[in-house]
Amino acid sequence: MKFDLLSTVEAGGCSAKLSALKLAEVLKDIPSPRHERLLVGVETHDDAGVYKLTDDIAIIQTVDFFPPVCSDAFEFGQIAAANALSDVYAMGGTAITALNLMMFPSTKIPLQALADILKGGMQKVNEAGALIVGGHTIDDYPPKYGLAVTGTVHPDHVITNAAAHAGDILVLTKPIGTGVIVAGKRIGEVSDEDYRIALDTMKLLNMNGARIMQEFSVRCATDITGFGLLGHARKMAMASKCTIKIKSAMVPFLPGSYELADKGCIPGAAFRNQEFVEKNCSFHSSLDYSKKMLLCDAQTSGGLLMCVTPQNAGRIVNKLRDAGYPSSMVIGEVFDKTDKDIVVMR
């Protein structure tokens, strides 16, 4: 019988992130590095750092790891790797190398689980066309896994969260609700079919999404992970000095996630994300509570949220669906800055 990794955690995947408010408090007095070749640093809380090497090559550097988000060790490795690679794709880059980050309790969990996690991670890195070139392991409980990833991008084609403009159309590539689904699995309330769909969604690389963004010269995007759709949208609005309006009726949700949220199966991370956005977010008066919390639900290996031109929006959505993202939808629009960062419509 395989060891159930979910039995080791209360908050797995990106739900284990430090809250955005606490992170901002910690970082506010730490000086940001400055360098003429540093194209993207920490000021805008972007998905990764970007450093210019030559006129044609910039490197993207990112790191991500977390506790188990599913029961199976191999699938955990796949999801954690897909999630770490996603930051490179959100910047429009190509992943080239990765380092394993592994924290594993060698006396509490069978070592086969460690091997399976690493095999799952390698499978996704191979799928990305990148190479695992080493890593680091410590003895720690509960287990945690992820990658430090290096990618490349042309310096003139970097995609950031700070380049949204009024009139841009918002496109989301994956459905949300992974945090709620995983919480439902932990308490035995989610169906096997809905759980499987969520796992397959988390394992899906954002690689083709990055390719399509470059094809259409998209210059503003982010991926949706631990701060939820609204948290990451707010970070984009802050970095771009704009207001983002989201049509909640257009946001795709994972099957079973709304029903679970309506039963009260809402992870703690959703409440932390709600706290981060609420004062700077206007909610339509008719928006029901369960949908509001799903918009704050912490995602693991979520989709890309991209800002595209109105004339390209339909073509991009069609390309994304053909490329393996069937839930891709237009979910909103960018406006000039108002008193709120986010406006959520019905």
Catalytic site residues? 14
272-275 long-range contacts (CB < 8 A, ≥24 apart) are 272/19, 272/20, 272/21, 273/19, 273/20, 273/227, 273/228, 273/230, 273/231, 273/297, 273/298, 275/19, 275/21
For residue 275 the two structure tokens come to 């706290």
CB contact at 8 A, 316 and 173: no
Quickly tell me which residue has 């410590």 as its tokens: 138
